[in-house]
A and B are shown apart, each in its own frame.
Chain A
Amino acid sequence: MPPQPALAFDQVTVAFGPAEVVGLTSLEVDAGEFVSVVGPTGCGKSTLLNIAAGLIAPTSGRVLVAGQELRGINRSAGYLFQGDSLMPWRSARDNVAAGPEFAGRPKAEARDAADHWLARVGLAGHGDKYPHLLSGGMRKRAQLAQTLVLDPPILLMDEPFSALDVQTRQLMENELLALWQANRKSVLFITHDLEEAISLSDRVIVLAAGPATRPIAEFAIDLPRPRDVAEIRLTPRFRALEEQIWSVLRAEVLKAYRQGNAA
């Protein structure tokens, strides 16, 4: 039997009422593979991720997790949201400890695991702070720790760094790569930033402009690893890939732009 993909969309469509948000979509993420999905703003990228997370059920088709059809919340996946998902009434440590606590692990053990992961993401000594006292970058790190403490085989990431300034963002991208390199999870990474997609991924999938978005092209990223996201952008191969993908993406972005203007 060939190895199962960690995550697979099998002819998935999603409609909210009469509006088809996701058209016929099939895609796979292999175990340990880093896949990015790029598409114009507002095309339904997040919907795709919510389906993989099990937060939304597809209207038709199936989502397979390690070969098993997904029903309800995807327990094998961690989700890094675009917005703030930290519980504001819990300190950073208690936020990271939440997952293990929900799973029924003893409180002391959960807090030890939380401290370990806070240190791994560079937040050692900030455990007692409440989220409103953390900077945007620190909150993202805490969210990352909160997700990784559960060691999920699949990571779903929804433009997680889009709200950060450029410097913090590159730092976080490099740290994400280092963490991923150390423990290879299957990653489905959503972004509208093509450079980010190429510098992080093994594979980039381009989505059509909405409505009824669907994958229209796929590119293998054969850049060597380990990578530095800032340096890799300067290599000729990166530029060539970017040009290639952008030639497909540009048409979709223009389409979305015109729709946005017409609406």
Chain B
Amino acid sequence: MTHVWRLLLAAALLGLWHVGSITGVLSPLFFGHPTAILATILAWFASGEIWPHLAITLSETLLAFLSGTICGVGTGLWLGLSPRTRAVLDPFIKAANAMPRVILAPIFAMWFGLGVASKVALGFTLVFFIVFFNVLQGVREVPPTVLNGARMLGASPHQLLRHVYLPAALSWVFSSLHVSVGMAFVGAVVAEYLGSSAGVGYLILQAEGMFDVDTVFAGIVVLTLCALVLDALVSLAETRLLIWQPRADAARET
């Protein structure tokens, strides 16, 4: 039943948009035509023109996600385990995190050019802090009994890191995957939009320059579909990676 209502709602909204645009109530210059948008999307996929752009955007997302996660885990473990260094760096970390980092895009464009690297750099700054703060939390919240238990079982400092701190931290990273993957994607697209030579963000930028609002909307639709697919993949990965965690809907037995 819910599905029927959803479909009806979507059809009603698209119908209103369509009627509004052909009667001129919604100016086609600003709102476009749903049919033209659909035609643009179909043409992109039919001609294959969209694939290289999608591939660029998605590889930027992937690279930003991977680099941000690896550095975030490393830095989080390091600072989580050395409170003194953390105390020194704390104000710098707070400042860097408070900064509206999207505005770094022009700087990254100057440093790294208009190619993939500057997009990865922006995505990295977004992903890094999410992962970093989660790892910090994960390290801090290792139950003392688990930690002492492992020590009593003979774990060396290196083994504690590998078998206690890392899994504890990763569980936090895994539970924030939705946010960090989403941010990597946002970073890639925004950086493309602010200056690029390829990617879906670039297509939108080009279309905007020619007042081609249908193509702008087509780009947005493609990006949204991509984001949904990424989110579904993350959900799949999550159930595999967090198999050992009690699920929220399953009552904990004691």
Mask of B235-254 contacts with A, CB within 8 angstroms, 1/0:
00000000111100000111
- Cross-chain contact of B152 among A53, A88, A131, A135 (Cβ < 8 A): A53
Contact A102 B244 (CB under 8 A): no
Q: How far is the CA of A59 from the CA of B164 in the complex (A)?
A: 29
Q: How far is the CA of A77 from the CA of B146 in the complex (A)?
A: 16
Contact A85 B149 (CB under 8 A): yes
**Would you mind naming 21 contact pairs between A and B with Cβ atoms under 8 Å apart?**
A55-B151, A73-B152, A73-B154, A77-B152, A79-B152, A84-B143, A85-B145, A86-B146, A87-B146, A87-B150, A89-B168, A98-B150, A98-B155, A102-B156, A102-B159, A102-B163, A130-B243, A133-B253, A134-B253, A143-B149, A146-B153
**A73, A78, A83, A87 interface centre (most CB from chain B within 10 Å):** A87
Contact A135 B146 (CB under 8 A): no
Q: A84-B146, A98-B163 are in contact. Are A89 and B244 (CB under 8 A)?
A: yes
Contact B145 A84 (CB under 8 A): yes
Cβ–Cβ < 8 Å partners of B245 in chain A: 88, 132
Cβ–Cβ < 8 Å partners of A98 in chain B: 150, 153, 155, 163
Q: A83-B143, A87-B167 are in contact. Are A55 and B154 (CB under 8 A)?
A: no
Contact A135 B254 (CB under 8 A): yes
- Cross-chain contact of B246 among A77, A82, A90, A132 (Cβ < 8 A): A132
A-side residues, CB < 8 A to B, are: 53, 55, 73-75, 77-79, 81-91, 98-99, 102-103, 130-136, 143, 146-147, 150
Contact A83 B252 (CB under 8 A): no
Q: How far is the CA of A53 from the CA of B150 in the complex (A)?
A: 12
Q: Is the interface of A mostly helix, strand, loop or mixed?
A: loop
Give the Cβ gap from A46 to chain B, nearest Cβ, in Å: 11
Q: How far is the CA of A88 from the CA of B254 in the complex (A)?
A: 14
Cβ–Cβ < 8 Å partners of A73 in chain B: 151-152, 154
Cβ–Cβ < 8 Å partners of B243 in chain A: 130
Q: How far is the CA of A55 from the CA of B252 in the complex (A)?
A: 30
Mask of B164-180 contacts with A, CB within 8 angstroms, 1/0:
10011001000000000
Q: How far is the CA of A44 from the CA of B13 in the complex (A)?
A: 68
Contact B253 A150 (CB under 8 A): no
Contact A88 B244 (CB under 8 A): yes
Q: How far is the CA of A89 from the CA of B154 in the complex (A)?
A: 18
Q: A73-B152, A77-B152, A150-B153 are in contact. Are A85 and B244 (CB under 8 A)?
A: no
For A77, the closest partner residue in chain B by CB is: B152
**A88, A131, A134 interface centre (most CB from chain B within 10 Å):** A88
Cβ–Cβ < 8 Å partners of A133 in chain B: 253
